[in-house]
Chains A and B, each alone.
Chain A
Amino acid sequence: DQQVKQNSPSLSVQEGRISILNCDYTNSMFDYFLWYKKYPAEGPTFLISISSIKDKNEDGRFTVFLNKSAKHLSLHIVPSQPGDSAVYFCAAAFTGFQKLVFGTGTRLLVSP
């Protein structure tokens, strides 16, 4: 039962353009969402999060959008840089309960 889905296994973008990574979830009780970035042979690192009381959260080049009615969130990276090339995991949780449910990741490749 895959409660968090990232349907695009990979995405290729040119440097300077926008990268949009998508994530869908099935459990409407999730109320906290996070994005993690993972480089090869390293553990995931926290990138940005959003609570269900918001529909947008921005941190520098990274913005996460949440559409609760569609059970969909997206991560926008503008402008994309080659160093952003990594696997991006979407994760969902219930507030106050640290049991993250992860998607299977999207591999982003940003070419110069």
Chain B
Amino acid sequence: DTAVSQTPKYLVTQMGNDKSIKCEQNLGHDTMYWYKQDSKKFLKIMFSYNNKELIINETVPNRFSPKSPDKAHLNLHINSLELGDSAVYFCASSQDGSSNSPLHFGNGTRLTVT
């Protein structure tokens, strides 16, 4: 019973396509996140939601749109994919969004844009 699960694990697509990555957590946490790990291994926050409300929105192109239908789900939709979007995307959750509430990460989705 995976705590934070994201699908798909791998996603290969062509430039210009639209794709979605799904994330679900069964930990009962209030806060969910999307992180991106680029080719240089930097792990950077993209979005944070607390009880379905957007809390953090880093400087992310508006082609990226998170959707939180309920507090257990945070999906990431990406429009008009570009080569530079190739990365590993990690979903995460935490109890209450405070700094001393550890993040629980999913296993990542490797997106390759050709």
Binding site for B on A (CB under 8 A): 2, 32, 34, 36, 41-46, 49, 51, 89, 93-100, 102, 104-105
Contact = CB atoms under 8 A, between A and B. Distances in A.
Given A43-B105, A45-B105, A98-B97, 15 more contacts: A2-B42, A36-B103, A36-B105, A42-B107, A43-B90, A43-B106, A44-B103, A46-B104, A95-B99, A95-B100, A96-B98, A97-B99, A98-B48, A99-B48, A100-B45
Task: State the majority secondary structure of interface residues on A.
Answer: strand
A46 B103 contact: yes
A42 B98 CA distance: 24
Contacts of B42: 2, 102, 104
19 contacts: A36-B105, A41-B108, A43-B90, A43-B106, A43-B107, A44-B90, A45-B105, A46-B102, A49-B100, A49-B102, A89-B43, A97-B99, A98-B56, A99-B48, A99-B56, A100-B45, A102-B44, A104-B40, A105-B41
A51 to B, nearest CB: 7
B100 A51 contact: yes
B94 to A, nearest CB: 6
A93 B90 CA distance: 18
A44 B31 contact: no
Nearest to A51: B100
B105 A98 contact: no
B101 interface: yes
Contacts of A99: 45, 48, 56
B74 interface: no
B107 A34 contact: no
B81 interface: no
Contacts of B31: 98
